Chains A and B, each alone.
Chain A
């Protein structure tokens, strides 16, 4: 077995040193009733080639996004990842290290986290960021619970434009903690209804921009209303590349910004692992969840980095911790930081502009089809369109034309009554020919 270095001789010698007759002696504390002597009904070990064959066979049953015209978004976006990123994250020193508890021999990871935190703070327009969360949806739930600690209030208002999975995750986790979660009616312009719902019991309002329908919104007025009521504004973003083009949450008055960072440096991976971004205003930092990396000096006075403010965390505070999070998304944060360092401000703005231009071309092409209505007016790289037919049936039909048309809204939220709404995203990966092929196939099928 190729992953096991001990030889039978080694084992015998080692048992001798221990003073045990057989390996079973070392399992003597296991109650006899629970010792499983027969083998499991599972196959025995397999060589590298065999395993490769099986997994390649499974992978071949999937249609990779790159196989043809592809327009799915809805919280996960297909972007180009430079080869350098994937090379560096596979270096042993990054890939096979643990959470940096021993800073003297983990400065590589720690300096990367410090760069990551600074980049995330800059993108979100806020003061501080943590060292990552599992993903955008869990970051959203954590932000809502943080608002409770800050305001000592229980009510959270979720805008109807919030990604339904984010709303469900927040509902599940924050409700368990005793919060009252008010999810507003799902609607393309749901942000308009947020202000009037804010009251003196409100801990926070959660608004997504661009929202799940792709609508980009200026949330400044919502921030003002929230602050006037003593509540916090949490701004959610599921497409981090949009930070390169749109006003940041901080500029618009957000107290906490959370985002899905997958778009930068990370592949689609069928939904995970992804990386949650979490940033807030400086005065809230001690209520933040998650790991934080901070600057300090070593015994020789040289600058170095350590995990810090750990008195917020579970390993010190136990049941009084700000969160139970331990492992986060370190390697995805590394990929994010390397990609963003390669882009720089110049590249990110350019990338965002390309995405926006592709989406405008897509909106134009689909909007020109008789019977198709583009619902999203001001967008970044994703639009919602209303079809004259059921969106799920149309997506299934278009598969026969080789087009993956997008995500039917009903897949995210069957109860919303928006069965004719399709979410379509375009990125720098989208070819103009892909858009043309999609529009032509869609027109043909609607015209039938």
Chain B
């Protein structure tokens, strides 16, 4: 078996499939069509748009013009529609069933948000249009900022980071700037062993070395180890709260106190804010910076891997270092501070071109207004209730990693209950697909052996949770009963069987290439 370095198998095992032996004559699977790549459909001279002719007479581009074929196929509109709709049907989605990826907060994505983001006044708005013509957009950014600051109890927010990891970068750059302004550049960042990979990656990105903090038996930051590792060269700690084990850091206020005492700043990874929104303000915990994944807590769609948005709330100490741009109230309405000069001279720079993920701001704001203060509090409560319900219902057959006390918005199990069955966490997860569910997050956090991290979110009904738990209980019983083939060969009923990740990495094929090795003949006719 080939493994990743986190112990996850990456190659399907050679096990006889559990199947009827029935295959179609064409290789299709009923309505799930085998769909060729656009490059394999002889569309080299096709187009699905009707554009007027334009000649290049009079152009002085000369040898700047592209002569060689580009190699782009086209499809007519009906073909393109069918191609992408067929592909879509090979995807799982939150609109189809529970999507219990821990740490990802796959909640319902309201379509009102989509409708609002597509209003011409937002969608057809240029980022550099004159300020008098974008007052509504600036007002929306201002209102979103107010909500984020109020919900977190923090005095400032930088809206421009484009995703969670980009927000982490923003927070650490503010921390770095704050230390440099004091003439005390520091070298190290402390990160718990259970942290998400983006935390150490971001710290390294900013030029810090990373020191790991140990975890206690009950899944929290080890205070003694933290105290031992804090020192005058520590710039910050990065702690996720609730943490990646789905637990609230009980000693969070003491963690903040020790950190500040050492002259360091407290970066909180806000990926799990959904568990506490409306009930706990990170500002009350001593946090100096925290990113908020609008695509998690505030329901903007994940879109198959983005776009996200990762605004960062900042404490009084870090606020002066926030990156440009930001919205200010001026005599002639709202305006943008876009340059890091004059009153903004302490700003550490710019995270990206323009002003951030406006499309996501509109969606997140529509969501906040829909829920309101009362609804958001209910969001956290139901998210935590749902996770604890799953933990309670599955604890009879699976082993919770931290059985004592409640979990927050996600339930974490280890793989000790699979010992001796011959079934791994990965096998179990793949078998869930055959039962119609997306697997949970696996092998993360790294501190729990064979981890299975289940986050249901608040938008699941009790009926759906029961359906999910019933399926997992049945699967667990099958695993313990020795029905190993069901797991080893899984999935059987998905659009594809288990894929060979080892082969993909060993011989990377990252683009389509014509079999003949010569360029396609798109414009051979020209």
Contacts and interface: CB of A to CB of B under 8 A. Distances in A.
A31 B106 CA distance: 27
A165 B165 contact: no
Nearest to B462: A10
A176 B373 contact: no
A96 B370 contact: no
A74 B349 CA distance: 20
Contacts of A309: 505, 508
B133 A404 contact: yes
B73 A345 contact: yes
Interface in A110-130: 111-112, 114-115, 117-119, 121-123, 127-129
B20 interface: no
B150 A41 contact: yes
B306 A329 contact: yes
12 contacts: A18-B406, A42-B150, A62-B125, A82-B48, A95-B93, A99-B306, A326-B197, A338-B80, A342-B48, A342-B74, A346-B46, A347-B47
Nearest to B384: A26
Given A5-B460, A98-B99, A299-B12, A63 B133 contact: yes
A344 B81 CA distance: 14
Interface in B92-136: 92-96, 99, 101, 104, 106, 108-110, 112, 114-130, 132-136
Interface residues of A, number: 204
B229 interface: no
Given A61-B121, A90-B114, A330 B59 contact: no
A5 B95 CA distance: 14
A325 interface: yes
B136 A357 contact: no
The CB with the most chain A CB atoms within 10 A, among B83, B203, B509, is that of B509
A332 B163 CA distance: 14
A152 interface: no
A25 B389 contact: no
Contacts of A128: 510-511
Contacts of B116: 51-52, 55-56, 59
A114 B37 contact: yes
A138 B51 contact: no
A214 to B, nearest CB: 12
Given A64-B121, A96-B95, A165-B352, A327 B164 contact: yes
A58 B361 CA distance: 13
A29 interface: yes
Interface in B414-439: 429-430, 433, 438-439
A20 B392 CA distance: 11
A36 B74 contact: no
Contact of B130 (A97, A175, A269, A404): A404
Interface string B185-218: 0000000000011101111111100100000000
Given A100-B305, A296-B504, A332-B307, A172 B173 contact: yes
Contact of B499 (A58, A70, A123, A296): A296
Nearest to A175: B349
A96 B109 contact: yes
Interface in A68-112: 70, 72, 74-76, 78, 82, 84, 86-109, 111-112
A63 B458 CA distance: 38
Interface string A211-244: 0000011100000000000000000000000011
B35 interface: yes
B303 A66 contact: no
A45 B339 CA distance: 37
Given A11-B385, A378-B60, A93 B96 contact: yes
Contacts of B210: 318-319
A341 B54 contact: no
Interface stretch (A196-204, A270-278, A365-373, A436-444): A270-278
Nearest to B369: A51
Contacts of A90: 114
B222 to A, nearest CB: 16
Given A135-B162, A247-B66, A268 B125 contact: yes
* Among all A-B residue pairs, the 6 with the closest Cβ atoms: A344-B74, A59-B121, A331-B303, A271-B354, A172-B349, A61-B136
B247 interface: yes
A302 interface: yes
B124 A268 contact: yes
Given A268-B123, A298-B496, A117 B511 contact: yes
Given A93-B89, A109-B91, A15 B385 contact: yes
Contact of A251 (B66, B163, B302): B66
A29 B64 contact: no
B505 A311 contact: yes
B489 interface: yes
B517 interface: no
B92 A341 contact: no
B47 A343 contact: yes
Given A173-B169, A267-B123, A273 B307 contact: yes
B123 A34 contact: no
Nearest to B123: A267
Interface string B501-526: 10111001111100000000011000
B6 A341 contact: no
Interface stretch (B260-268, B374-382, B477-485): B374-382
B304 interface: yes
With a 10 A CB-CB cut-off, give which of B352, B359, B385, B391 has the most chain A CB atoms: B352
Contact of B66 (A18, A57, A245): A245
A246 B65 contact: yes
B355 A31 contact: no
Contact of B127 (A244, A271, A404): A271
A104 B110 CA distance: 26
Nearest to A132: B306
A96 B377 contact: no
B353 A169 contact: yes
A395 B128 CA distance: 12
Contacts of A75: 128, 353-354
A74 B433 CA distance: 46
Interface string A399-438: 1000010010001101100000000000010000000000
B127 A134 contact: no
A17 B509 contact: no
B72 interface: yes
B370 A2 contact: yes
A207 B404 CA distance: 58
